[in-house]
Amino acid sequence: MPLYDFGCRACGASFEQRTGVSDLPSCPECGSAHVERVPSTFAGPFTIRPRGAAARRSDAARRVREEQRRPGKMSP
């Protein structure tokens, strides 16, 4: 079962609970059945970054910038 965020319409409490896709739990604070599923942000373990040819271009551009920043190097 997935973990969902809920908000209680009666008391305003927010809570998380593992429920089925179509199930709505009761509020743990006041016991009310008037709860709604609240959209939440997704915190995945991944980051978005270039891959393949785009990553090679990005790495090459970074190497050029680092070379230009080194002391004693003059940019043209």
Task: Output the pLDDT for position 21.
Answer: 82
Tell me which residue has tokens 């915190």. 43
User: What was the pLDDT predicted at 31?
Assistant: 92
CA distance between the termini of the chain: 61
Contact 27, 35 (CB under 8 A): yes
- Judge if pTM exceeds 0.85: no
39-74 per-position pLDDT tens digit: 877 666 666 677 788 888 888 999 999 999 888 655
- State percent of the chain over pLDDT 70: 82
Measuring CA to CA, which residue among 40, 11, 35, 41 is closest to residue 23? 35
Separation CA 74–CA 19 (nearest Å): 63
**Could you tell me the residue ranges of all domains in the chain?**
3-38
Kindly tell me if the per-residue pLDDT of 76 is higher than 60. no
Note the pLDDT of residue 8. Answer: 94
Instruction: Determine the number of helices (DSSP H) and then strands (DSSP E) in the chain.
Output: 1, 3
